[in-house]
Amino acid sequence: MLSIINSSNIIGIESFLTKVEVDITNGIPCFNIVGLPSTEIRESRERVKSAIINSGYKFPNSRIVVNLSPADMKKEGSFLDLSICIGLLRNCIKKSDEYLIESMFIGELSLDGNLRRVRGILPIIIGAKECKIKRVFIPVENFRESIFVDGIDIIPIKTLNECIDYLNNNMTIINNKLDYINSEDIKYDEDFKDVKGNYFVNRGAEIAAAGNHNLLMVGPPGSGKTMIAKRIRTILPEIDKDEILEVSKIYSVAGLIDKEIGIVKERPFRSPHHTSTKQSLIGGGNNPKPGEVVLSHRGVLFLDEIAEFDRRILETLRQPIEDKYINISRVKYSVSYPCNLLLIGAMNPCPCGYYMSDKECNCKQYEVNRYKNKISGPLLDRFDMFVEVNQVSFDDLKTCKKSESSSDIKKRVENARKIQYKRFKNDIIKTNNEIKSSKIDQYCEMDNDAINVIRLIFNRYKLSNRSYTKLLKMARTIADLDESLIINSSHINEAFSYRKAYYTYFG
């Protein structure tokens, strides 16, 4: 008897259809799984056998061969337990072969027949929909993770017995879906109104959020760099449904989805420690997993004390920041992860932290230079904005006047983003930071005064092509915040004011 059951497996954050072919024939009793199964799939033989027996069914005392197709792709994880069981118990199921061809079965089995949660269910559901599968049977603990995918039936089950009963029309399962995602109820403890002084830096954070421009803050310890960085996510625009599904796919594969919420409803904010390894930051391993850069997709990656990171690890960020994706290659396949993020860096100006501040610096000049050189020129060139964060004066700390609240800043940021979405509606990009060099002239139109100002800046500071385009993209964002169609000289000057710190400190 041959049964073919649909299941799925994952490479990176994408799934591929896996046909579980179960052949039961006469011969010496054995149970073999072929088709490049991993160790956890080979061990499923014992889980499947115990689950079938403990659920009250008879395990076939025959020669059993399970082939996982396509046979040339490695299969990993515990996704296939349920589909193998269904293939072995085909004689106990009344549904037609046509029904099973339109169905997919995903889930890990315990020895008593209960279904356990698996990681990566969201990309599996999306992949099943693309393969024209009509319904997917999944563990009930994964149900909330899949309820926002339209156009496919999700059937949450608790046990193997419950699955068989449903297939034999002996029971019904309620599977209410949600057709919208409400992220407006997210509240943050941080707010920009708590920031005293450094209003220039606050404005820089607003511009960075509006155009998704990478920002590096330099200043002495305790001046508020981390405080400001943590509040940038409070002014970012609400994450839309497409972005939610993008980010949730990544977190689903990484096993970081909150099972109570079932989906990522806010923009990620990741802040890895400076002792992080290259694999934890970029991702990889024998079975490639997303790193912090990928987990920051559509959100913020905050590198606090960036100069304390291993320089070789920091250099691995150069290509992902520029290309907006990471490609991890293995012998038989490669994995591509998206990483379109807002990079925020913070560092002290020297080892003691007080160089160019009101407090005396105890460092020698060569120590300051060596500290600055921990960040290479090409990596610095990936940052659009540089700001000096100064120590806040006593008068600013004790003033009763509060800074502008995050909600007020967010309104301007969202308005600027709406202008950008409208501008790029016929393009594949969303924000000004993503404008390609070939389209700079199209999207960054300047008046004559602005052209004269940027010509002077270009010639005096010997800007590279990348620095020039970044300056124009920033000016475009500032113009959007002003709701101006044309970039004028004031927009250019303000944009360059957020590049001056680079020439003051790093130049």
pLDDT bracket for residue 177 (50, 70, 90): low
Dump pLDDT digits (tens) for 370-397.
Answer: 999 899 999 998 999 999 998 887 777 7
Q: Give 113-170 as a DSSP string.
A: SBEE--S-HHHHHHHHHHTT--EEEEEGGGHHHHTT--SSEEEEESBHHHHHHHHTTS
How many beta carbons lie within 10 A of that of residue 23, not counting itself?
16
**pLDDT on residue 312:** 92
Give the CA distances from residue 73 to residues 9, 35, 37, 69, in Å, rounded to whole numbers and listed in that order.
10, 8, 9, 8
Of 95, 87, 98, 99, the residue nearest 2 (C-alpha): 87
What Cα–Cα distance (Å) separates residue 190 from each residue in 196, 218, 226, 413, 474? Answer: 13, 21, 12, 17, 26
Q: Does the pLDDT of residue 492 top 80, yes or no?
A: yes
pLDDT bin (cut points 50, 70, 90) of residue 469 is very high
Mean of the per-residue pLDDT values of the chain: 91
Distance (Å, rounded) from C-alpha 139 to C-alpha 162?
Answer: 11
Query: Cis link prior to 288 (omega < 30° from 0)?
Result: no
Mean pLDDT over 310-327 rounds to: 92
Q: Are 101 and 176 in contact (CB under 8 A)?
A: no
Please give the pLDDT value at position 231.
96
Q: Whole-prediction pTM value?
A: 0.91
> What residues pair up with 155 in beta bridges, in sequence order?
137
Tell whether the model's pLDDT for residue 398 goes beyond 80.
no
Condensed to tens digits (0 to 9), the pLDDT of residues 258-295 reads: 877 888 989 999 999 999 999 999 987 777 789 999 99
Instruction: Report which of residues 12 and 303 the model is more confident about.
Output: 303
Neighbours of 147 (CB within 10 A): 18
Confidence (pLDDT) at 453: 96
DSSP code for 64: E
Judge whether residue 183 has pLDDT over 60: no
What is the rounded average pLDDT of the residues 459-473?
Answer: 91
Residue with tokens 């073919």: 4
Whether residue 290 contacts residue 253, with contact meaning beta carbons closer than 8 Å, is answered with yes
Is the pLDDT at 75 greater than 70? The verdict is yes
Is 70 exceeded by the pLDDT of residue 257?
A: yes
> What's the pLDDT score for residue 331?
66
**What does the DSSP assignment read for 302-334?**
EEETGGGS-HHHHHTTHHHHHHSEEEEE-SS-E
Poorest-pLDDT segment among 181-190, 223-232, 359-368, 403-412: 181-190
- pLDDT beyond 90 at 149: no
pLDDT, position 24: 95
Instruction: Output the six-digit token pair for 336.
Output: 């591509």
**In this predicted structure, what is the pLDDT of residue 310?**
94
pLDDT higher than threshold 80 for residue 36: yes
Instruction: Report pLDDT for 284.
Output: 78
